[in-house]
Amino acid sequence: MLGIVALLAGCATAPPGDDAPAAEPPTDWAAARVQFAAEHPVPPQPPAYTEEEARAAAARRADEFWTQQVLPAHPDAVRPEGGFIAWLDEEDVSATSPYATCLQERGMRVTVGETAPGEKAGYSYSGLPSTESDVAHFYCGQVAYPMRPHPRETPEQLAYMYDYLTEFLVPCLEAHGHEQQPAIDRDRFIAEWPRQGWYPASEMTGDPEKDADIAAICPPHLPSQDAAMEARARR
């Protein structure tokens, strides 16, 4: 299968030898991404969870978060009582959202930042000691208003992701001055996801505007997610 970098470098090759000129850096990354999508069919999605399955998966995730994240940091923490209320509405990023209200009821001060007028950057929190803060975040974000879980990615989906990262995203980022750590083996990436220990870093400059410019040229999301990203941008 023709690789993206080879496609963009051109068809001509120099004779082998120490004096062989280096290939010209790629330039048309939009065309490269279209080519990737043409050469890599999108693997099928696994069936979505039923409501009962989603609740059970969220409960398992909350148990893991408590034992693997909260207790190691705060061995004396007491797990709060209470259960699921509703799925987190990811579009409602406001100080009056149910999630923010839940935190405020537990003594947290919650504010919403902006990267630009009207563009919300997310929540900022203050007002509680570390243990109480982490317990409040656990209850409100993992138990009461969790993100709706989805079935684990299939090996085919992870292979598609790996190919996009290594054949398009990493070369694109590096062509724009953002060096990346060497990729791990494809089989290891699939077997160890999501704790595989390697993923390209696309936000590198510390400047939101520059990072947004790079993301427009080197989209970190998969081509299979384009339609969803465009729909979100129109909201």
Q: Is the pLDDT of residue 165 over 70?
A: yes
pTM of the shown model = 0.66
Mean pLDDT of 85-103: 94
In the beta sheet, which residues pair with residue 122? 113
| DSSP H/E element including 226 | helix 226-234
How much is the pLDDT for 123? 86
How much is the pLDDT for 8? 37
pLDDT more than 90, % of the chain: 69
Which residue's entry shows tokens 């099928």?
Answer: 44
Mean pLDDT of 196-201: 94
Q: Is the pLDDT of residue 233 over 80?
A: no
Q: Is the pLDDT of residue 171 over 50?
A: yes
Mean pLDDT of the chain: 87
- Lowest mean pLDDT: which of 26-30, 62-66, 151-155, 225-229? 26-30
Mean pLDDT of 99-106: 96
Mean pLDDT of 171-179: 92
Question: For the chain, what is the radius of gyration of the CA atoms?
Answer: 22
- As a whole number of angstroms, the distance between CA 33 and CA 218 comes to 9
- As a whole number of angstroms, the distance between CA 220 and CA 57 comes to 27
* Residue 107 region by backbone torsions, left for phi larger than 0, else alpha for psi between -120 and 50, else beta: left
Q: Is the pLDDT of residue 20 over 60?
A: no
Q: Is the pLDDT of residue 118 over 70?
A: no
Mean pLDDT of 175-184: 93
* Best CA proximity match to 112, nearest among 101, 103, 125: 125
How much is the pLDDT for 179? 92
How much is the pLDDT for 78? 97
- As a whole number of angstroms, the distance between CA 57 and CA 145 comes to 14
